[in-house]
Structure 1
Amino acid sequence: MIKAQDAEFYNEQGYLLVKGVFNRQEVEAMRSGVEGILKRAIEQKRDGNHAWQGDFVPPEEMKKLVLKGFHDVHYHDAAFTQAVVHPNMTAILSRLIGPNVQLHHSKMLVKPPENGAVFPMHQDYPYFPHEKHTMLAASVHLDDADVENGCLHVIPGSHKSGPLPHVGRHYLDAKQYPVSSGIACPAEAGDVLFFNYLTIHGSPANRSERTRRNVLFQYRSATDFPTVNTHFDWGMGLMVCGENPNLDKVRPDFEIK
């Protein structure tokens, strides 16, 4: 699915856009999955606004911004379970991470038309720090994305700076790192943007009349372990390719109550 020079680009720049990972039918199945989750959330009064709060945009604008999000989508619709271990995905992951790859978690992010929320520039590292920094995000595009409807922006090579101080663990200083400091990564439905969890990234608000739906899968090496007991999930550690060489570390350390 990718070549050696693509893996080299990822290692140097901290990100890689891969075209056409999922076909039209697979994208449509995931779109239906997203819409089904949103419908059930409304019916069960679990619907809410997941837009980040902070001083990175003026307060009056913040009140208007909306983000529909839901974690662990592979528990809610089989289309996402199939996508997590899709042969095209595992072929790429084995080149970017190594032969033994685990799922960490999944989530969906929906930016509605005209007022879809901005994501200030940040690293994912503060949420789930790991020893070897193999963690990456695979952002699956379910709609065509451009600057107008809030596509992802990344700062190439920023993963080499290591962990940076964040405002309340959430985002970087917006004056020092505005979204415009990154390069836009426009993509088409079915494309996947892979980026290391140390790569600085964010996205502008959706100002278009088009919805922007993304599903995010976080993956790591089976030999990369968390340094802090945070962001645990029942399905964390699912093997998506290769094998787990550690018989005593096959699931997170938690208790069922």
Structure 2
Amino acid sequence: MRDERRRGIGKCIGAQAELVAEKIISDGFAVVRKVLDRGTLLRARAVLDAALRTCTNNVSKGWERGGAGRHQVRKIRDIALSETFFLELAERRDLLLPVAAVLGGGGIRLHTSTVWMKPPGGEMKPPHQDAPHWLHVDPPLFVTCWVAIDDSTCDNGCLNFCRGSHRWGRLPHRRETDLVVMDFDTAGGVSVPLSAGDCTFHLGTTVHWSGPNLTESPRRGVAFAYMPSWVTIDGRGGPPSRYPIVGGGRVG
């Protein structure tokens, strides 16, 4: 682990991490407040702005038209593989401890690191589970940590979760612009507004979605999807170097 004093130690340590893990296991998701301090957020925004000026191949093919008629970046994939700052963020002890408590013994790999831009005018991300996107991993054990870089509100497209849906296993999805859970009713969903620096954790089978961005500012967040180091990755998943080890046998 890199020197955490350079990144600031968050609040989710020790016994609190166990409580967060219990919430993830019982509800399928959990919320942790004030994980990133102001300085870390400012650095995240600066690194992201610089990355946007140079990114090419890792920009999603899906573009969304902004409120002023511009095509804007929808997401940036695998940012931790190109930006050391985001890899160090994914390695933070306060993020890894709840993940380790859920996934159990052994090391932890970072499966994906995606910046979701949700630009002004950005569309709804429909109800889905993460695990059906990643069929190259067996068994499909994932915990995703979604960190708010900007305030995430009901007006700009905060995350919503279906409590307990992780117990249903992998659900049938259909392909639209994205994979979508078939015939899913969002009426019972839980909206989770976040302040910048807050984060959520959810399981790979937890149904979740986000609304449209009805504001004139982006709603940026970075999602780190973690998996055990011992899972099998077939040829569709690419080389092991795509999935760096971010947590050893014991995190802490």
Question: What TM-score do the two structures reach when normalised by structure 2?
Answer: 0.80
Matched, 1:50 2:62: yes
Q: Which residue of 1 aligns with 2:145?
A: 138
From the superposition, tell whether residues 96 and 45 of structure 1 become closer, same or farther in structure 2 (CA, over 3 Å). Answer: closer
Q: Among 213, 217, 236, which residue is 2:242 paired with? A: 236
State how 1:83-122 maps to structure 2 within 5 Å: 83-99=89-105, 100-113=107-120, 115-122=121-128
* Contact 1:65/1:118 (8 A) holds in 2: no
Q: Quick one: distance in 1 between partners of 2:133 and 2:89?
A: 23
Q: Among 179, 183, 186, which residue is 2:190 paired with? A: 183
State how 1:195-214 maps to structure 2 within 5 Å: 195-214=202-221
Q: Quick one: distance in 2 between partners of 1:104 and 1:206?
A: 27
Stretches of structure 1 that go unaligned for 5 or more consecutive residues are: 53-62, 245-257
Displacement after TM superposition at 1:188 (Å): 1.2
Stretches of structure 2 that go unaligned for 5 or more consecutive residues are: 1-11
* Contact 1:51/1:117 (8 A) holds in 2: no
Displacement after TM superposition at 1:75 (Å): 2.7
Q: Which residue of 2 aligns with 1:33?
A: 47
Q: Which residue of 2 aligns with 1:250?
A: none
Larger % of strand: which? 2
* Contact 1:153/1:184 (8 A) holds in 2: yes
Displacement after TM superposition at 1:11 (Å): 0.6
From the superposition, tell whether residues 103 and 48 of structure 1 become closer, same or farther in structure 2 (CA, over 3 Å). Answer: closer
Q: Quick one: distance in 2 between partners of 1:196 and 1:70?
A: 21
After the TM superposition, which segments of 4 or more aligned residues of structure 1 sit over 4 Å from their partners? 44-49, 63-67, 178-181
> What whole-Å deviation, never above 9, does each CA across 1:167-211 have from its counterpart, x for those lacking one?
12843356x325554211111111111111111111011002231
Q: Which residue of 1 aligns with 2:6?
A: none
Displacement after TM superposition at 1:3 (Å): 4.3
Question: What TM-score do the two structures reach when normalised by structure 1?
Answer: 0.79
RMSD (CA atoms): 2.8
Aligned residues: 230
Q: Percent identity?
A: 24
Matched, 1:11 2:20: no
